[in-house]
Amino acid sequence: MLVFAVLTPVLVIFDCLNYRKHQTSQKTVDLSPDELSNSLLVVPPLISILYPDEFWRATALLASIPLLTATLRIFCHKVGWLSRPPEYIYLLPGSCLISIVVYFVFYHEGQMHVAQADSIGTNTATHWLLDKAWLCVIYIMAALFAITRKGSGGISTASLIAILLFNLLPFFTGYFWISIIAGVSVFSLIVQRLASRLEDSVRGGFAFVSAFAYLTVTLLSVFVYAVLY
């Protein structure tokens, strides 16, 4: 962590000198030359997963590195030493969220961890097949319901139902990760089918919004699962 604290001003100064060099030589470049310190706006929070015993303290300390970097870059930009302000600071919450999810998945035993282990241990091969069977039936029925909708209202409703269904069902199967992967696969087919029924002007927007909404809800489901189990 001390390394990042020392590295931050060094990289910012290096970027300032590099930018000044490009200004002096009057070279036209497509990419800004002061991008090196931008990596410190994203990477440090991800390092906190290497400190599971002091995870929360490490996350707080490492999250301060992007804030320090952003402050230095903003100052340097205002005085004309850099071509643009920190662009990746908006990714900081995402980096912290990824670290937290990884920590809960690999290092944290949730409140329902023991209960889940007991329930899985009592499953027989027959129960496993039954679990798989009813899950497949529900996924197929949901897919058939979605692809038979007509009109923009019905298509939007079908997409919303699929998003909620495919992210809630995994909690009741005992096979969370398999169910999540199956849900992503089925939902991709549903979106492709539904998008083909829309006009060309709204097809791309519908696919993007649906994918973004599904990804958001899936990340929330994974986070809840990581905390509980």
pLDDT at 184: 84
Q: If pLDDT is split at 50, 70 and 90, which confidence band does 115 have?
A: very low
Q: Are 170 and 183 in contact (CB under 8 A)?
A: yes
Name the percent of the chain lying above pLDDT 90: 3
Q: Among 43, 76, 106, give the residue marking a domain's end.
A: 106
Token pair, residue 176, equals 């969370």
pLDDT at 110: 52
Q: Out of 91-105, 112-126, 181-195, which region has the weakest mean confidence (pLDDT)?
A: 112-126
Q: Among 71, 106, 141, give the residue marking a domain's end.
A: 106
Q: What is the mean pLDDT of residues 85-111?
A: 75
Residues 160 and 184 in one domain: yes
Q: What is the mean pLDDT of residues 83-88?
A: 77
Residues 79 and 174 in one domain: no
Residues 94 and 119 in one domain: no
Residues 127 and 68 in one domain: no
Residues 92 and 147 in one domain: no
Q: How many domains does the chain have?
A: 2
Residues 89 and 22 in one domain: yes
Confidence check: pLDDT of 132 > 70: no
Closest CA relative to residue 104, chosen from 159, 48, 145, 152: 48
Residues 100 and 179 in one domain: no
pTM attached to this predicted model: 0.52
Confidence check: pLDDT of 112 > 50: no
Q: Among 106, 139, 161, give the residue marking a domain's end.
A: 106
pLDDT at 29: 47
For residue 163, give its domain range.
113-228
pLDDT at 129: 56
Cα 131–chain centre separation: 29
